[in-house]
Structure 1
Amino acid sequence: MSPQFHLEYFDPPPELSRHVLALFYFAWDEDDISDRHPGALPQIVLFPHGKGQMQFDDRVEPVQGEVHMLAGFEKAVPFTMEGPWHAIGASLSPLGWAALARQPANKHYNTLIPADELVGSDVNAFAKETNERYRTGDLTGAEACNVLADWIAPRFEPVPEEHVPIIEQGLYWLSSSLNPDIDVLVAGSPYSRRQTERLITRYFGLTPRALARKFRAIRAANLLAQPELTDEGEAEIAAAFYDQPHMIREIRRHCGYTPTRLGGPKEPLFQTLLRMKNLDRLKEFRSIGE
């Protein structure tokens, strides 16, 4: 817990466990806020308080309005916000994104999207009502998370049944190692290599090679951000990269920092998000391939 902000994660209802990895409530009550967002997972997020902007490589996007969605970012994105800034959201699995957004993840990567463009205009009335109830004190952050879960639950559309195994296999593969082998992914897939790569890109937002590279850097940064790096963690990092300069380059590319500055005091939210609590449930998918 940071003294500057409050962040809580909640388990989704059991019936949503394949689609929602975690519900979350966030509040940061300072006037001027700047930090980075890792963009590791798809999300749908209500914003009852706060507005600002995100700085992508080629453009600046506003962060304003009642509700947004994101499919993910290829690398950490700097942002500034006029506080107080509060958010109520759900981190989605790739299956959850596909079922709710009904759009390929790679089509919407590296952008923040008004949610009505993906899930229909009724999300605006829902978000406005829920945010107003939160603003007036009728809902706590935890209660608002439950309201969001109840709203999205009936809106998950079926994903092509023949594609579900490759999504689950992709989750198992991604969670199986700090540096997952693409040949292992292909070997466990019912499709050809080319079709497997195409489907992973569609549902996860990046090609398998780019996806493995991104999560290797984020997980290594996560380990290095821990107060004490265990011998096991150090060995895992050493095995995942060619050498230390390679590790530094990859973490700088995907996280925006050299390892000695990961999650420094000027960006405490980024440091907290690097712990990836909402990614812990990915480990549950390891049993699919075992």
Structure 2
Amino acid sequence: MTTAGYRTREGPDARGSAAPEAEVLGTDRPTGRTRSTNPSQPASPRQHDPRFTLNYFDPPADLQRHILALFHFEWNERDIVDRHPGALGQLFVTPHGSGSITFGDRRDIVDASPVVYPGFRLAAPFRIQGPWHAFGVSLSPLGWAALVGCPAHRFLDRFTRASELIGPEIDQLAASLVRQYRSGELSGEGACEALIRFIRPRLKAVPPPHEQLIEQTLAWLGSSLNPDLDRLFDQLAFSRRQAERLITQYFGLPPAALARKMRAVRAAELLAHPELSDEGAAEIAEAFHDQPHMIREIRRYCGYTPSQMRKADEPLFQTMLRMQNLEKPGSFRVIGR
């Protein structure tokens, strides 16, 4: 059999994931907003998991460059063990459930306090005592910079109390939203709307040249599975050294490391198609030296080889890996039961 253009043997590392749909992170310019792009394979019906529900809502039009999605999540089991890909930054609140998420040797607590982060280098395992409910927003690199105003690379791979970076008012708001949510006065969508009302007046201006650099970097990341570094630097109005410093500041990683991570995540997403097209297989094959290289990279950034992901009992991780973004304005998604 063949996988992604490579001749393979039957075995644990040779069969791609059988998840139902993949999405590749791209950008809709000039907004810089992420979109679903996979021209080599049309969308297929999603495989719902009965254990949880994940609802995505579009942000208001004036915030779509800063906020990629609003979300409300429910998983009503008692002991929940899964993994978070951390490809996008988030601000979120957990009105039900508590536990921890592990980043290497460090463990961060998950509770009702609002948390913010710009992303993870690697997928992070977590354990929650449920029922577990959460609501929040997914932040673009521009959104992180405008709301938090701190270099993203200083806060990678950690859950930071939002009050430390945004101010004590977020704790006051979250406490009120948690009370209303627990009493049934407030829906998940309503809680997301309240977060939007809080965020909008607190977004700070980002220097226009830096904003353009963010948009150009997003477009470059979305141009292929293995985008050319020289092409990026040729387009930017900064020296190579300045550009690397600014991209690290806004995206959390220097451009080469950022592209490497996104290549692995996107390849995993493409391999999640039950019927990968020849065009998609060729795109993956061109992005890696060979199949062992592809497997190593996906395992490094996602925690599993492609075949292991298919067998792993981590439904939220697999769903989030496939479902990074909203497809179009006005869309509404229900993932799960």
After TM superposition, the score normalised by the length of structure 1 is 0.94
One-letter amino acid of the counterpart of residue 251, structure 1: I
1:76 partnered with 2:123 = yes
In structure 1, which of residues 111, 120, 126 is the aligned counterpart of residue 158 of structure 2? 111
Please tell me whether residue 252 in structure 1 is matched to residue 287 in structure 2: no
Distance 1:61 1:182 in 2: 34
Name the structure 1 match of 2:4: none
Post-superposition shift, 1:227?
Answer: 2.6
d(CA) in 1 for partners of 2:249, 2:326: 20
| d(CA) in 1 for partners of 2:55, 2:274 | 20
Distance 1:14 1:219 in 2: 27
Counterparts of 1:263 and 1:53 in 2: how far apart (Å)?
A: 25
Residue 186, structure 1, aligned to residue 249, structure 2: no
Alignment of 1:135 onto 2:186? no
Indicate the residue corresponding to 1:102 in structure 2.
149
Quick check: 1:34 aligned with 2:81?
yes
Structure 2: how far apart are the matches of 1:132 and 1:233? 47
Distance 1:78 1:259 in 2: 17
For residue 58 of structure 1, report the CA deviation from its aligned partner: 2.1
1:243 equivalent in structure 2:
290
- Output the CA distance in 1 between the equivalents of 2:88 and 2:311: 22
> In the alignment, what sits opposite 1:219?
266
Q: Secondary structure at the match of 1:278?
A: coil
1:269 is matched with 316
- Note the alpha carbon deviations across 1:44-94, whole angstroms, 9 max, x for none: 001111111111112111112321001110010000000011110111110
CA gap 1:186/1:180 in 2 versus in 1, 3 angstroms? same
Q: Counterparts in 2 of 1:276-287, with a 5 A limit?
A: 276-278=323-325
**Quick one: which amino acid aligns to residue 34 of structure 1?**
V
CA distance in 2, matches of 1:273, 1:49: 20
Quote the offset at 1:264 in angstroms.
3.4
> 2:56–2:326: 8 Å Cα contact kept in structure 1?
no
Counterparts of 1:82 and 1:259, CA distance in 2:
28
Q: Tell me the distance in 2 between the aligned counterparts of 1:132 and 1:81.
A: 20
Kindly provide the amino acid, as one letter, of the partner of residue 126 in structure 1: L
**Matched residue SS, 2:325:** helix
**Distance in 2 of aligned mates of 1:63 and 1:223:** 31
Displacement after TM superposition at 1:162 (Å): 2.5
Pairwise CA RMSD of aligned residues? 1.3
User: 1:166 is matched with which residue?
Assistant: 213
Asked if the contact 1:42–1:93 (Cα under 8 Å) also holds between the matched residues in 2, the reply is yes
The answer to whether 1:202 aligns with 2:253 is: no
Aligned residue-pair number: 281
Residue 90 of structure 2 corresponds to which residue in structure 1? Answer: 43
Q: Is the 8 A contact 1:264 1:271 kept in 2?
A: no
User: Under a length normalisation based on structure 2, what TM-score does the superposition of the two structures give?
Assistant: 0.81
Q: Contact between 1:37 and 1:270, CA under 8 Å: does it hold in 2?
A: yes
Question: Equivalent residue for 1:93?
Answer: 140
Looking at structure 2, the residues matched to 89 and 226 of structure 1 have their Cα atoms a distance apart, in angstroms, of 28
1:262 Cα deviation from its structure 2 partner? 1.6
Percent of aligned positions with the same letter in both sequences?
Answer: 56
Q: Describe the superposition over 1:229-268 as per-residue Cα deviations: whole angstroms up to 9, x where unpaired.
A: 2222211111111100000000000000011012535100
CA deviation map 1:104-149 (0-9, x unaligned): 0001011011100110001001011112111111111122211111
Structure with more contact order per residue of length (Cα contacts < 8 Å, sep ≥ 6):
2
Map of 2:204 onto structure 1: 157
Partner of 1:191, secondary structure, is coil
Q: Which moved more, 1:120-129 or 1:64-73?
A: 64-73
SS of structure 1 residue aligned to 2:212: helix
